[in-house]
C-alpha cells in the first residue's frame, strides 16, 4: 500500500474510534428512547469532547499538519459562508417568532453541546478523514466517501432514540448538509469557518424544532424526507456550486497549509 493509502486506513480507524467513544459515552448517559432534543438540552454530553480529544492526540502523534488548523486562505473566502448563514438566520428568526422563549439554562446547555458537536464532527470528517481521502483517492471519490460516511453515522442515532426511520432521514439530511460543509472546507482551506457554520446550523435547527410542535407526533418518514429536500437541498446545491471549478477540485493551495506551532516538529526532528 502507498503512503497515502496507509494514511487513509489509519484515518478511517481513527474515525471509527471517534465514533465508538461518541456513541459509547452517549449510551452510558441516556436511556434508550431518549430524543436528540432531550439529549442535548438536559445535560452536557461527554462523548463528542472526549472523542475530539482522542483525535487531537492521534493528530499530534501522527504529525498530521493538513487537517485544517490554519488561517482561511484567502481571507476573503470568509464571505462564502453567506448562504448557509442566511438559512441559519431564517431558522433563528422563525424560532423567535413562532416559539416561546427557551429557559436560559436550557439554551446555555444546548449552545455548549452543539458547539462541541460541531467542533468534534468537523475535526473527524472534514479534518482527519478529508485530509487523508483527498490524497489517496480521486476528488469525487474522496468527496463522496467523506460525505457518505458523515451521513451514514447519523443512522446510529437510532440506538438512542429507537426511531430508525427518522434516523435514516437524519442521515440523508447530514449527507446534504455535509456536502456543503465539505465544499466550504475546500474553498476556505480551513476548518474554523465550517465548525462555526455547523455549530450555528445545529443550534438554530434545535431551537426551531423545540417549540410546541416538538410535542406532536413525528411526521411520516416520507414527509420528513420531503422536508429535508426542501430545506437542506439548497445547501447541497450551494456546496456543489462552490466546487464547480476544476482548479478548486484539484485542491488548489490545500496542500500548503502552514504547520500549527503545537503540531510542528522541532528543529532536527
**Per-residue pLDDT tens over the stretch 100-146:** 888 888 899 999 999 999 999 999 999 999 999 999 999 999 999 99
Please name the residue that has the C-alpha cell 413562532: 98
The answer to which of 94-108, 157-171, 243-257 has the lowest mean pLDDT is 157-171
Alpha helices (H) in 99-220, listed in sequence order: 104-122, 130-136, 139-152, 158-161, 164-188, 192-209
pLDDT at site 84: 96
pTM: 0.88
| N residues, the chain | 269
pLDDT higher than threshold 60 for residue 219: no
Is 216 or 182 the better-scoring residue by pLDDT? 182
Q: How confident is the model at residue 212 (pLDDT cuts 50, 70, 90)?
A: low
Q: How confident is the model at residue 81 (pLDDT cuts 50, 70, 90)?
A: very high
The residues spanned by each domain of the chain are 3-256
pLDDT tens-digit series, residues 31-40: 665 666 677 7
Percent of the residues in the chain that have a pLDDT greater than 70, as a whole number: 82
Q: CA-to-CA distance for 176 and 252, rounded, in angstroms? A: 24
Q: How confident is the model at residue 249 (pLDDT cuts 50, 70, 90)?
A: confident
| Contact in structure between 131 and 139 (CB atoms under 8 Å) | no
pLDDT at site 26: 83
Q: CA-to-CA distance for 180 and 205, rounded, in angstroms? A: 16
pLDDT at site 268: 41
| Terminal-to-terminal C-alpha distance of the chain | 25
Amino acid at each position: 500500500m502507498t503512503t497515502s493509502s496507509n494514511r487513509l486506513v489509519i484515518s478511517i480507524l481513527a474515525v471509527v474510534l471517534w465514533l465508538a467513544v461518541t456513541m459509547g459515552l452517549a449510551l452510558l448517559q441516556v436511556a434508550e428512547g431518549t430524543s436528540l432534543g432531550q439529549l442535548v438540552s438536559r445535560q452536557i454530553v461527554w462523548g463528542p469532547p472526549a472523542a475530539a480529544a482522542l483525535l487531537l492526540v492521534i493528530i499530534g502523534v501522527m504529525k498530521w499538519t493538513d487537517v485544517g488548523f490554519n488561517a482561511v486562505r484567502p481571507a476573503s473566502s470568509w464571505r462564502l459562508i453567506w448562504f448557509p448563514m442566511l438559512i441559519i438566520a431564517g431558522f433563528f428568526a422563525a424560532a423567535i417568532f413562532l416559539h416561546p422563549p427557551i429557559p436560559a439554562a436550557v439554551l446555555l446547555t444546548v449552545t455548549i453541546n452543539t458547539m462541541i458537536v460541531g467542533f468534534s464532527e468537523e475535526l473527524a470528517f472534514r479534518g482527519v478523514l478529508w485530509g487523508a481521502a483527498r490524497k489517496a483517492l480521486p476528488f469525487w471519490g474522496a468527496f463522496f466517501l467523506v460525505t457518505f460516511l458523515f451521513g451514514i453515522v447519523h443512522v446510529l442515532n437510532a440506538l438512542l432514540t429507537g426511531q430508525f426511520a427518522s434516523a435514516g432521514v437524519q442521515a440523508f439530511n447530514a449527507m446534504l448538509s455535509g456536502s456543503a460543509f465539505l465544499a466550504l472546507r475546500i474553498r476556505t482551506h480551513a476548518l474554523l469557518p465550517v465548525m462555526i457554520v455547523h455549530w450555528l446550523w445545529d443550534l438554530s435547527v434545535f431551537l426551531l424544532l423545540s417549540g410546541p410542535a416538538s410535542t406532536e407526533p413525528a411526521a411520516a418518514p416520507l414527509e420528513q424526507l420531503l422536508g429535508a429536500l426542501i430545506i437542506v437541498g439548497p445547501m447541497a446545491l450551494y456546496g456543489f456550486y462552490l466546487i464547480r471549478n476544476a482548479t478548486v477540485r484539484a485542491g488548489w493551495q490545500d496542500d500548503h497549509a502552514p504547520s500549527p506551532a503545537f503540531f510542528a516538529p522541532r528543529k532536527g526532528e
